[in-house]
């Protein structure tokens, strides 16, 4: 069985769309038995998600995992998007909504989750207090944004180095969870853990598809302070700890960081697809 795997098509971005269309054309010609798309295909608002997924001409099972960009909306409730609207829209297109239902075939199972973050990948050398990560703004950005200046008031824990960092994470503007990031992640991992426990009762090999990074080993290398600020939102070490509890998992694929990376961690192979706005790619995996 051959899997075709991609992520981060970002079809609603004008500069990214032609590259996504070219990649989908390549995948349509590549053959394969199962198609797996791991998040950030397009934001939920509008019909770009449907337009993108409809371009795939694939006769085998098509598996879909949401990313944080699928939760971007100008409406009020991203959690409702994930649990109600998006599953319906994806299934109407003939795709398998992997978040709620693992895919099984013969001796293979594929589980999927959006993942999420809890700031466990935040870079300590930036010296940014946790409340700024929760607000998704750096101290330097908070100083320039009236709605975030309360993060600075009456506090003495902001170093000059942190005060010079000006960066934002756009989930803070476009994702409305009505719960903390940690609470959201824990709920998603509880769901994934339940699925994995059920699957582990059979001898099937398991492949995990998680949009956010499960291991720090997959993080991009050090860059500017502005870019390193974003690492807090790339994933969580909790995801990796959960996956390592299940020896049947042979591979975990992710996206989100737009940085290709691979690492053997414990019993599994962790692979970041590496697609981004300026370059698209897909991987194949042959499963016996």
Question: For residue range 65-96, what is the model confidence (pLDDT) as tens digits?
Answer: 999 999 999 999 999 999 999 999 999 999 99
Position 128 in a domain = no
Strand partners, 261: 272
β-pair type (282-286, 2-6): antiparallel
Q: Which residues face 3 on adjacent strands?
A: 34, 285
133 lies in some domain: no
The answer to whether the predicted template modeling score (pTM) of the entire model surpasses 0.95 is yes
Whether residue 217 contacts residue 259, with contact meaning beta carbons closer than 8 Å, is answered with no
Residue 169 lies in a domain: no
Please count the residues of the chain. 288
Q: What is the per-residue pLDDT for 132?
A: 97
Q: How confident is the model at residue 98 (pLDDT cuts 50, 70, 90)?
A: very high
156 lies in a domain? no
Provide the pLDDT confidence category of residue 277 given band limits of 50, 70 and 90: very high
Q: How confident is the model at residue 154 (pLDDT cuts 50, 70, 90)?
A: confident
Residue spans of beta strands (DSSP E) within the chain:
2-6, 34-38, 62-65, 96-97, 103-105, 108-113, 205-210, 249-254, 261-265, 268-272, 282-286
What's the domain range around 32? 2-121+179-286
Residue 234 belongs to a domain? yes
Q: Residue 171 domain-assigned?
A: no
pLDDT at 288 over 90: no
Q: Does residue 268 belong to any structural domain of this protein?
A: yes
- What DSSP character marks residue 43? -
Whether 56 maps to a domain, the answer reads yes
pLDDT digits (tens, 9 = 90+) for 250-264: 999 999 999 999 999
Percent of the chain's residues with pLDDT above 70: 100
CATH number of the domain where residue 266 is located? 3.60.21.10
Q: How would you classify residue 148: left for phi > 0, otherwise alpha for psi between -120 and 50, otherwise beta?
A: alpha
Check pLDDT > 90 for residue 270. yes
Q: For the chain, how many structural domains are there in total?
A: 1
CB neighbour class for 141 (10 Å; exposed up to 12, middle 13-18, buried from 19): buried
């Amino acid at each position: 069985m051959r899997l075709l795997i991609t992520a981060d098509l970002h079809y609603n971005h004008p500069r990214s769309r032609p590259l996504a269309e070219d990649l989908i054309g390549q995948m349509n010609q590549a053959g394969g038995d199962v198609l797996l798309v791991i998040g950030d295909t397009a934001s939920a608002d509008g019909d770009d998600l449907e337009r993108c997924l409809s371009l795939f001409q694939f006769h085998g099972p098509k598996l879909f995992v949401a990313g944080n960009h699928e939760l971007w909306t100008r409406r009020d409730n991203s959690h409702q998007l994930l649990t109600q609207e998006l599953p319906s829209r994806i299934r109407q297109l003939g795709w398998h909504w992997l978040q709620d239902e693992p895919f099984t075939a013969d001796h293979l199972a594929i589980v999927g989750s959006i993942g999420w973050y809890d700031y466990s990948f935040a870079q300590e050398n930036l010296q940014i207090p946790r409340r700024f990560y929760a607000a998704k703004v750096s101290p330097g950005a908070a100083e320039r944004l009236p709605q975030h200046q309360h993060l600075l008031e009456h506090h003495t824990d902001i170093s000059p180095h942190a005060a010079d960092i000006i960066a934002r994470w756009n989930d803070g503007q476009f994702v409305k969870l009505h719960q903390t990031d940690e609470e959201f992640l824990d709920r998603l991992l509880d769901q994934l853990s339940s699925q994995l426990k059920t699957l582990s009762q059979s001898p099937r090999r398991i492949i995990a598809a998680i949009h956010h990074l499960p291991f720090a080993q997959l993080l991009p290398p050090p860059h500017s302070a502005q870019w390193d600020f974003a690492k807090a939102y790339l994933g969580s070490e909790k995801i990796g700890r959960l996956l390592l509890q299940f020896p049947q998992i042979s591979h975990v694929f992710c996206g989100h960081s737009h940085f290709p990376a691979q690492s053997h961690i414990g019993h599994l192979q962790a692979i970041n697809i590496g697609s981004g706005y300026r370059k698209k790619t897909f991987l194949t995996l042959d499963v016996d």
